[in-house]
Structure 1
Amino acid sequence: MTDRERAGYDTGWRVYRRLLSYAFQYWPLLITATVTMVIMAATEAGFAALMKPLMDESFGADESQLSRWIPLLLIGLFAVRGVAEFGATYSMRYVGRQVVKRLRTELFERLLVMPVQRFQHQSSGELISRLTYNVEQVASAATDGFSVLVKDSLTILVLLAWMLYLSAALTMTVLVIVPAVVLLVNVVTRQFRRLSHRIQGNMSDVTHVTQEVIEGHRVVRIFGGEPFERERFEGINEGNRRLHMRMEGVKAAYVPIIQFIVALVLAFIIWMATSDTLGDEVTAGTFVSFLTAMLLLLTPIRRLSTINATLQRGIAAGQNIFAVLDEVPERDTGHTPMERARGALRFEQVSFRYEPGGPDVLKDIDLAIEPGENVALVGRSGSGKTTLVNLLPRFFQPTRGRIFLDGHDLSDLRLRDLRRQIAYVGQHVTLFADTVANNIAYGRVGTTLDEIREAAAAAHALDFIEQLPDGFDTEIGENGVLLSGGQRQRLAIARALLRDAPLLILDEATSALDNESERKVQAALANLMHTRTTLIIAHRLSTIEHADRILVLDAGRIVEQGQHADLLARDGIYTHLYRLQFREAEAG
């Protein structure tokens, strides 16, 4: 075995031990299952043992009293086996579903605290595949694999012990197959693990493409993307079929080869038993009992040979799952509590880059914002506006410099307390497949319906909500699919208003509203902004003309700041952007 193969084997064994640790948390059931498996193994040998008196006495010259009890013994044997098999199967299935539940819970918990950067570097389809498909593979390896390993290993040991008792010479002949089987298992193990990794990666692609088509079905239909998506999915689907067939090909060849080796040994044993090689050592009953035990060996040997594929799939899936579980969670370095902030913000020489060797997205930002001040961020696409506000909830940490809230360094504040100070409405609204009321009250436990209605009224959403079939109890579908874009945006605004946080971030929050709704929402927001520190990312400059201050960003720097009229008088970047939008509006 090469160093690389040895390292892979060691890693695979460590992963499998970790998988088993989840099953061992339910050790009473595992002990119950193991005891019943011992009983099942004993019944296998018991059946073979009954063949000896049956042949030697029932069909011999003398018929003993024992042979008359064989039918009843046979019935009793299989009754005990049936009860034991039920106990073993149910116990292991229960443990298996507990392992699935535990792993999915841990994965979901990890997703909730995973750093934002991880979501940017990994597709949602791949993460979902690990939570669904991979977990099932892991549970199968941790429970079904364990069950087969224990039950069939015990069965083989008990049957071999009985065969040794009957004839050591014939048993030694059977054991000739062991080195050949071990060599074959070693070769096939590497194939199974390699193919399992590729299959699981392909399943992530299947999930990812399917999710994109479902979420973007309108774009696909309008732009005629059906042929492209069909061809793309067909390529991935065909690749999945080929990988599975390669796996099945290995499995299909694996079992017959082992069975052929066993058949060679069986033929040799029959030759020995029917020749004079063993003399009078083997009677008819001994031979039939030995042959029965050997035939009973074939099933557990076959299962043990095929369980390798399950184990390797589980190990490959476990490596993918544990890569997520071992991900360092979002760091909370803060220790200072904060009940409610006044809303004073200060940026001191803040710079930020997404990658260690990448360019600075923000450069030397010096900025002070007073409590209750309404500040708009404008600039060309890629100028750093969204990145700047993403530093406030500590989605990212500044590469250099510090940010203060009410004189407290953001990195010193407890993360939960910091984010409780912020309400957010983004350009891309996120709603949940729940009722209108629960979407507005999201994140606030114990909110009353009157408070929800008040927030909806302030966001000018009450009129359309009351027209819905069940009002505030109406289910709005996945991401609010049953609502219009403007209605979804007003629900998001109502949610932000209900949060009543001292910091309000609006990222093009009125972009999906018609002119009339926009005027209503702007009026509602204007009534609330004087009590909050508000940062508005705006592409439509007409919506921020009355801001207390407008910051113009370019290439990650604040190049201009002031009120609307002052900036227009300077004839700088802001003036250029404003005139450009004005001409576009006139042309429209």
Structure 2
Amino acid sequence: MSDPRSVLDDLPILKFLPPDAKELVKNSFTPASFSFGAPIVREGEVGDAYYILLSGRARLVKSGDNGEEISLNALRPGDTFGEIGLLDHARRTATVRASSDVEVLKLDKSVFDALVKSRPEIRQYVELQIKHRHLQAFFREFTPFAELPGDAIQALVAALEPVNIAEGELVFRQGDEPGPMYIVEEGRLRVFTEDGRRRNVAYLRKGDFFGEVSAFSDVPRAESVEALNSCRLLRLPPENYQELLDAHPEFRAQIEARLPVYAQRHTALFPLDFAQEMLPAEVTVHDKIGPDQVQYTMEWSTAEAEAAKVPSAPFATDDGKFVKKATRIRTFSHVRQVDEMDCGAAALAMVCQHFGRKISLARIRQLVHTSLDGTSLKAICHAATELGLAARSVKASARNLSDMPLPAIAHWEGNHWIVLYDVSDTHVRIADPGTGRRRMRREDFAAKWTGYAALFDYTTDFDFAPEAQSRSAWLWPFVRPFSRVFAQAVALALVVSALQMALPVFTQVIVDRVLVDQDVALLRVIVFSMLAILCFMMVGLVVQRYLLSFVAIRIDTATLDFLTRKLLALPMSYFNTRRTGDIQRRLGGVRQVREFLVQHGVNALTAVAQLAATLVLMFIYSPLLTLVFLSITPLYALLMFFSARWLQPIYDDLEKAFGKYFSYQIDAIKGIETVKAMGAEGAFRELMLNEFNLVAKKRFKADFTVLTYDGGVQMLTVLSVILFLWAGAHQVMQGKLTIGALVAFNTLVALANAPILTLLQLWDNLQIVTVLLDRLNDVFEQEPEQGQDHSRLVPVRTLEGRISFRDVGFRYGGPESPAILDGITFEVTPNKKIAIVGRSGSGKTTLIKCLSGLLEPTQGTILYDGVELSRLNYRDLRRKIGFVLQENHLFDDTIARNIAFGESEPDMDAVLWAARVANAHEFIERLPMGYESRIGESGIAISGGQRQRIAIARALYHR
């Protein structure tokens, strides 16, 4: 080659440079030569020059994951490489190795930097060359186009346009017109279809391409493509795409080979490497516990502890809060959780009681935003602050336990909250909302503690926190109107008890006088007297039972109506955070509470009256024998104490287990069609059996404890009789008591034991009722929808239909929960039709529920005709809205009453109009009884589409 620099005339990097700048760069190159096999540049070295191959051949290679060399390209005279080294000190991404003896021209970076200082425009031409080189290497390494010939790749690279796609953004949507083909340069995407429900059909990574079928066949997009993180795509416009198909058969063959694959695509399995990007409802999920929830971290390593003195109050703040008290906590009130997700709320309730105020568990549950998956650390601290306590979330090690201010709420076993209230050198004391108080070794506690905790301190604001009412306070308004009836029932009980006391007196007279004197006349008088007393007792008992039945029915009706009104008045958030079976058990608990109060309550008063009368008469007969009988009383009290300690937690666990099991039963009944359609009867039966086995274990534990308790009661009863016989025999032998008096006293013992057994049985029942009352209070202590006082609400008599959303946001849970809606602002004018579209989980249903007040926005405002939604009466408003849910419930009633639901009597003209508009009139008329046909559980079966049309008619009924 006479003039080696003549090759520079056709160099792309210099092609568009001004002549003087081009000549300046050409004169800056210097020659160099390399022998066969020698590396010209090495992968990983810092780039320091730009090369042009003058003669010979070279290979561009890259190291693979296993150390092997991947050939990226073959270089021939006129090819260039190493240009990235001119721009910065970046390390080379590939090796260039001589395949023969080669000669090159070389432009050193130092020389290039000097050129750029004098002529800055040179740099932009170099950057353009780097882009093309990078894309060619990318195509060789990653995409299915790696096998295309060089000219095809160059043509493809020249036509591509870079596009940046944000996380969550759609590249295109199913049904869009044909458009460009895309190649993934960086990022991850998913391909899905929406034919009634979302179905993911493919996942895309670096090097994949998509959109080619629509452009090839000139048909609308058959699928949607969404970015799972920030992506960089290479877009091939339709006109360039068609040119490549026509000019390069190899490119067309690659596209045609892909067409059959699309016809066979079904639901794609979830890829392991997409785990970080794929989240439910496409929102960022915050853990219930984690570093982002912690305000302060206290970790003292061993080395630090030896090198420096640990502060005396390491958790204290500048204002002196969170300092460990000098005195240890010896006694601590326990609050049992109502449901398994209530542990965080119950733990905070215990802390509140320690600081002097008994706060309602329902109130705390609202403040901590308890959901079906529990409570977060941040929410616990937020709720404590709302109540007036100072709160601080920390992450600490077990070494810091001795310095931690107590009580503290600790995160336990990864999914539970407990209260730590005492720490010694070897042991700790905890209060577990599920199992009660217990003592354990420090190392055992440290093994299950995650290190996360919430600390608390008193402030004067806490004095104003509202306290809870008595768990039975709601019952007294229903009992008070029948106080006179109860008084009459108690009076009858006292009369019957007094009459019973005649029995031992008659017994003594018969033994001491009738038998001794052979006085038949006296015996006849006594027998007739006893029969008369028996008749009076029977009459008294019948009248008493009549009065109690009268009261029971009325209290049943009143309490059921009260509970129904309370449930219907609760916000949807209450039902969204509780299982159906739990709510059903609460409803069933009302009857048990009423039965205990009305029937057992009077029985308890009767038993107390009978016991008191018996003890008085026993004392008259023999003070000594009476004291012997009463000596068993402390043992009865001890038995009651231990039974309460053991029975109440067992009954509480049993109620939770029954609630969960009933939820499964309800699920099974509602989903029986799916179970049968999937042929899953065996698997579902196994699931139900496993759940019942858990209930059975708890039932066995409860029954065994109760039977043990009953056995203890019987043992003490027999013991009292033995002691009486021993002491009584001594009294008779000493002449201090007649045989008749001993027999009479024996009768009194029998009469006294009967009410004692009754009271002890009622004590057992009281433990069940206490658990039920706690669960019922969960309903009664909840704040009704829109508060207790509705007089301030604006009635909605008419509605023009102007709706405004102003920066509306919504979160299911506390402030740390993911935002389902965020910053929604738009306006709807009357008579305007608007369709709200979005991917599954984007918040469409949530937005509609906010519109009707079923869910209340956590930020922003919704206005109807210029009036804030929160000021309107929701019940009036909803009657002005035609609302069709995704899953519509049809009640067990006639079609007419279902359409006119909420009306005592349907307006048939309005029913017919609504059914015609909803296109339901024809199929309803074909039914045997027309609009009087019964549907629902006990009625005829109708199709899903027919159910939907009836639901639409119901929404239209009020026009």
Category of TM-score, reference length = shorter chain: 0.7 to 0.9
Q: Is contact 1:34–1:151 with CA below 8 Å preserved after alignment? A: yes
Please tell me the residue identity of whatever aligns with 1:353.
R
Corresponding residue number in structure 2 for 1:124? 580
Mapping of 1:286-325 within 5 angstroms? 286-325=741-780
Instruction: Write 1 or 2 for the structure with the bigger share of strand.
Output: 2
Please tell me the residue identity of whatever aligns with 2:726.
W
Q: CA deviation at 1:309?
A: 1.3
Q: Is contact 1:251–1:306 with CA below 8 Å preserved after alignment? A: no
Q: Is contact 2:897–2:905 with CA below 8 Å preserved after alignment? A: no
Mapping of 1:308-387 within 5 angstroms? 308-331=763-786, 335-355=793-813, 356-387=815-846
Q: CA deviation at 1:64?
A: 7.8
Corresponding residue number in structure 1 for 2:501? 45
**SS of aligned partner of 2:519:** coil
Q: CA deviation at 1:206?
A: 2.3
Q: Is contact 2:652–2:771 with CA below 8 Å preserved after alignment? A: yes
Give per-residue Cα distances to partners, 1:195-248, cap 9 Å, x unaligned: 111121122112211110111111111112322322222223223333233222
Equivalent in 34, 37, 43 of residue 490 of structure 2: 34
Q: Does 1:466 align with 2:922?
A: no
Corresponding residue number in structure 2 for 1:431? 890
Please tell me the residue identity of whatever aligns with 2:643.
V
Distance 1:275 1:497, change over 3 A: closer
Q: CA–CA distance in 2 between the matches of 1:40 and 1:53?
A: 21
Q: CA–CA distance in 2 between the matches of 1:243 and 1:87?
A: 40
Q: CA–CA distance in 2 between the matches of 1:157 and 1:426?
A: 63
Structure label with greater radius of gyration = 2
Corresponding residue number in structure 2 for 1:154? 609
Q: Is the deviation greater in 356-365 or in 18-27?
A: 18-27
Q: CA deviation at 1:140?
A: 2.8
Structure 1 stretches lacking a partner, 5+ long? 501-588
Q: Is contact 1:95–1:143 with CA below 8 Å preserved after alignment? A: yes
Q: Does 1:63 align with 2:63?
A: no
Q: Does 1:398 align with 2:857?
A: yes
Distance 1:94 1:241, change over 3 A: farther
Q: CA deviation at 1:276?
A: 5.8
**SS of aligned partner of 1:371:** coil
Corresponding residue number in structure 2 for 1:415? 874
**SS of aligned partner of 1:375:** coil
Corresponding residue number in structure 1 for 2:186? none
| Aligned-residue identity in percent | 27
Distance 1:376 1:105, change over 3 A: same
TM-score, scaled relative to structure 2: 0.50
Please tell me the residue identity of whatever aligns with 1:402.
T
Q: CA–CA distance in 2 between the matches of 1:256 and 1:174?
A: 19
Q: Is contact 1:431–1:479 with CA below 8 Å preserved after alignment? A: no
Please tell me the residue identity of whatever aligns with 1:483.
I
Equivalent in 679, 686, 703 of residue 231 of structure 1: 686
Q: CA deviation at 1:261?
A: 2.6
Corresponding residue number in structure 2 for 1:532? none
Please tell me the residue identity of whatever aligns with 2:766.
L
Q: CA deviation at 1:259?
A: 2.9
Q: Is contact 1:145–1:310 with CA below 8 Å preserved after alignment? A: no
Q: Is contact 1:16–1:315 with CA below 8 Å preserved after alignment? A: no
Q: CA deviation at 1:65?
A: 5.1
Corresponding residue number in structure 1 for 2:633? 178
Q: CA–CA distance in 2 between the matches of 1:275 and 1:336?
A: 83
Structure 2 stretches lacking a partner, 5+ long? 1-329, 337-352, 359-467
Q: Is contact 2:496–2:541 with CA below 8 Å preserved after alignment? A: yes
Distance 1:238 1:217, change over 3 A: same
Q: Is contact 1:34–1:150 with CA below 8 Å preserved after alignment? A: yes
Please tell me the residue identity of whatever aligns with 2:830.
P
Q: CA–CA distance in 2 between the matches of 1:111 and 1:208?
A: 18
Kindly tell me the number of residue pairs found equivalent between the two proteins: 499
Q: CA–CA distance in 2 between the matches of 1:167 and 1:5?
A: 44
Q: Is contact 2:513–2:519 with CA below 8 Å preserved after alignment? A: yes
Please tell me the residue identity of whatever aligns with 1:287.
L
Q: Is the deviation greater in 281-290 or in 394-403?
A: 394-403
Q: CA–CA distance in 2 between the matches of 1:324 and 1:185?
A: 29
Distance 1:277 1:73, change over 3 A: closer
Q: CA–CA distance in 2 between the matches of 1:276 and 1:436?
A: 82
**SS of aligned partner of 2:863:** strand
**SS of aligned partner of 2:889:** coil
Q: Does 1:78 align with 2:537?
A: no
Q: CA–CA distance in 2 between the matches of 1:17 and 1:119?
A: 24
Give per-residue Cα distances to partners, 1:266-299, cap 9 Å, x unaligned: 2233233333677322112111111111122222
Corresponding residue number in structure 1 for 2:598? 143
Q: CA–CA distance in 2 between the matches of 1:494 and 1:146?
A: 51
TM-score, scaled relative to structure 1: 0.79
Q: Is contact 1:138–1:318 with CA below 8 Å preserved after alignment? A: yes
Distance 1:64 1:499, change over 3 A: same
Q: CA deviation at 1:399?
A: 2.6
Q: CA–CA distance in 2 between the matches of 1:274 and 1:286?
A: 11
Distance 1:285 1:391, change over 3 A: same
Q: Is contact 1:352–1:360 with CA below 8 Å preserved after alignment? A: yes
Give per-residue Cα distances to partners, 1:474-496, cap 9 Å, x unaligned: 11123976111111111111112
Q: CA–CA distance in 2 between the matches of 1:421 and 1:223?
A: 41
Please tell me the residue identity of whatever aligns with 2:610.
T
**Alpha-carbon RMSD:** 2.6
Greater relative contact order, per chain length (Cα 8 Å cut-off, separation 6+): 1
Please tell me the residue identity of whatever aligns with 2:920.
A
Distance 1:216 1:65, change over 3 A: same
